A and B are shown apart, each in its own frame.
Chain A
Amino acid sequence: MADHVEHAVNNVSVDGTEGSRHTETSPGRTEVELNGQPPTARPPLVLTDTEEDEDEELTLKYGAKHVIMLFIPVTLCMVVVVATIKSVSFYTQKDGQQLIYTPFREDTETVGQRALNSMLNAAIMISVIVVMTLVLVVLYKYRCYKVIQGWLFFSNLLLLFFFSFIYLGEVFKTYNVAMDYLTLALIIWNFGVVGMICIHWKGPLRLQQAYLIMISALMALVFIKYLPEWTAWLILAAISVYDLLAVLCPKGPLRILVETAQERNEPIFPALIYSSTMVWLFNMADSAETRNNSSHPVPEQENQVAVAPMAQPDDDGGFTPAWVDQQQHQLGPMQSTEDSRREIQELPSARPPPEEDEEERGVKLGLGDFIFYSMLVGKASATASGDWNTTLACFVAILIGLCLTLLLLAIFKKALPALPISITFGLVFYFATDNLVRPFMDQLAVHQFYI
């Protein structure tokens, strides 16, 4: 049940760089606003035409970077799922067990009965998801943060301990590894506790991203195993339609969620969103109080440090030598200490809360999107008779869909659903490749003709 909450809410969307972009794209200008300097030290922010056009080119470069920052985790998640499906036979065996949300069986006599059953299954599943999303949005709106936190905590607990225990067990069975319970308990305990800490509290960014990818993969594997054939495809189609409606309609639950989060200037639960950069405020329940608490050292430190959290070694996080020289020239060389920073932060100022630099803000993708992408590719590799061709085709289709979604995000600059385009492409290419391309390529391979 708890995991449904997760993936219900996880179709939050691709939440990218909202807010004003023109003042933020040029790194040099933004850093001035971010560090603890009094406002008068800022040079005037005059936006000329050339700067605007430079922004476009920088936008393109940064946009491409963000796309790759999402391609890599999505690819990793799919690779994990496909590798597991191909090697561990547990996840492709149909034991006859089904989830309680899909009570109708598909092993019926007639095709019509099967179609009807699968449609009913999909309908039940989608309504469960809708109800969960509504409950979540209502809880969020009425600030019942503790309830949401507890819910997410419990569902992550289930995933990180129980499901990964089953996964590990099946992997050991496949490779015939002898393992005692004590060692296993130690491994699972460590894995789970570190995962809970990373996801719900603080942890290295890469580790948090890795855990999010792993739990998405685990969830996708569960769906691949327990959802019957036609139901799975129908659910994929239905959920992309639902995602479209929930995020774009004015009264859509996910849109309300995102807008409320933006109004309150809070990040949406870190446990449900994959973020390509560090999330500034980790504990949402405290965020309202600590926002104005100037002795909160974390954001200051992050802003003062000249390297963005996910920066490559040659990325100076916007503190270009030219800007540093300019600062030193204007203000004299200075060393900032913890105390001096705190002092300056406590100066009354009319500045808005620190806006994150576009480059450092990165882009966010809901975990539900990861789950459904991987589920599609996993099902393609599990059930398609075209085997690797179908898997490859679905993989490329999903990546291109994600690319187009991010392009639209760059154009429209508001939260967008990440499922519809990718899942549509994925489904089209799955059925087309499996039924049309596979016989053609098989015939070509038999005769060894090359195109």
Chain B
Amino acid sequence: MTVAVFFGCTFIAFGPAVALFVFTIARDPLRVIFLIAGAFFWLVSLLLSSLVWFITVQISNKNSATQQTGLLIFGVVLSVLLQETFRYGYYRLLKKANEGLLALSQEDTMPISIRQLAYVSGLGFGFMSGAFSVVNILSDSLGPGTVGIHGDSQHYFISSAFMTLAIILLHMFWGVVFFESCERQRWWALGAVVLSHLVVSCVTFVNPHYQGSLIPTYIILSVMAAWAYLCAGGSLRNLKLCLTCKDKDFLLANHRPR
């Protein structure tokens, strides 16, 4: 509960995402707009799922703790499904907008490709999801208090930060794989994305046993990272070229000597 905890957790949770934003998105206005639109779509999906949850809570027995927990679990599952539905809706909207633009202009290239849109929209979803999960916790960490004074876990803040980091990056990878599978009509891949989202959310039900939730989440994160990398056109060969600074196309584009 110090400034150090606040800054540490903020940087853990948002560091990679903000770095991605600054280096790849901030310079292109079109991408920034689609990022914010993605965040908006996530927000609307959250709103709808909260509405449904709120209604079910109002008509339920408020005194029964198990019922309330059950309703919360139902709310989580519903929210995940709605998020993925809105991701699909965003995909359809972007396709329509892109098609319209392509029909208008005679050029072959669109100002922004569907893959870039997948990345940007995934990151938009991730930013909003991460912000809503963790910002209140972070602002509480600035104030006075003792963590876990009633016997709860002492690692509340740092585990929240790591979980948020995983969620943000996962949303980005899910976005890439989702759009790619919609483009190629690979419905099993779509189902896999939705399923992995459900698994990640359901795995958090075992909190505060963080080894049970964080470890599977990070395993799924690495799997999705590899899958998204392959979907985006990467391969082992590309990776090797990139790491040994021998990728001629990249060097040419950035005017660097070999």
Contact = CB atoms under 8 A, between A and B. Distances in A.
A444 B69 CA distance: 10
A396 B36 contact: yes
Given A388-B136, A440-B53, A451 B30 contact: no
Given A57-B107, A57-B111, A389 B72 contact: no
A53 interface: yes
Instruction: Describe B's contact surface by its main secondary structure.
Output: helix
B76 interface: yes
A182 interface: no
Interface in A33-68: 49-50, 53-54, 56-57, 60-61, 64-65, 67-68
Contact of A53 (B33, B40, B50, B106): B106
Nearest to B135: A388
Given A53-B104, A444-B76, A448-B204, A387 B47 contact: no
Interface residues of A, number: 40
A449 B201 CA distance: 7
Interface string A433-451: 1011101110111011111
Contacts of A71: 32, 36
B101 A400 contact: no
A392 interface: yes
Contacts of A393: 43
A65 B76 CA distance: 38
B128 interface: yes
B83 interface: yes
A393 B129 CA distance: 11
B71 to A, nearest CB: 9
A451 B197 CA distance: 8
Contact of B54 (A49, A65, A440): A440
A400 B40 contact: yes
Contacts of A387: 136, 139
A450 B40 contact: no
A443 B129 contact: no
Nearest to A388: B135
B135 A429 contact: no
A280 to B, nearest CB: 24
Given A60-B101, A437-B50, A445-B136, A450 B72 contact: no
B29 A396 contact: no
Nearest to A389: B132
A403 interface: yes
B128 to A, nearest CB: 7
A400 B51 CA distance: 21
B104 A56 contact: yes
B143 interface: no
Interface in B42-82: 43, 46-47, 49-51, 53-54, 57, 68-69, 72-73, 75-76, 79-80
Contact of B32 (A68, A388, A447): A68
A392 B135 contact: yes
Contacts of B133: 441, 444-445, 450-451
A448 B208 contact: yes
Contact of A449 (B104, B111, B204): B204
Given A388-B139, A389-B132, A444-B72, A64 B29 contact: yes
A213 interface: no
A68 B29 contact: yes
Given A53-B105, A57-B111, A400-B36, A447 B72 contact: yes
Contacts of A441: 50, 132-133, 136
A432 interface: yes
A399 interface: yes
Given A392-B132, A403-B36, A448-B160, A61 B47 contact: no
A397 interface: yes
Nearest to A433: B47
Given A67-B29, A388-B136, A389-B136, A450 B200 contact: yes
A207 to B, nearest CB: 23
A432 B53 CA distance: 13
A61 B30 contact: yes
Nearest to B153: A448
A275 B146 CA distance: 49
Question: Which of B36, B132, B159 has the largest number of chain A CB atoms within 10 A?
Answer: B132
A439 B83 CA distance: 19
Interface of A: 49-50, 53-54, 56-57, 60-61, 64-65, 67-68, 71, 387-389, 392-393, 396-397, 399-400, 403, 429, 432-433, 435-437, 439-441, 443-445, 447-451
5 contacts: A399-B36, A400-B37, A448-B156, A448-B204, A450-B164
Q: What 10 A-B pairs are tightest by C-beta distance, nearest first?
A: A68-B29, A448-B207, A64-B29, A440-B50, A436-B50, A64-B30, A53-B105, A388-B135, A451-B79, A437-B50
Given A447-B207, A451-B133, 13 more contacts: A53-B107, A389-B136, A392-B128, A392-B135, A403-B33, A433-B47, A440-B50, A440-B75, A443-B68, A444-B76, A445-B133, A448-B208, A449-B76
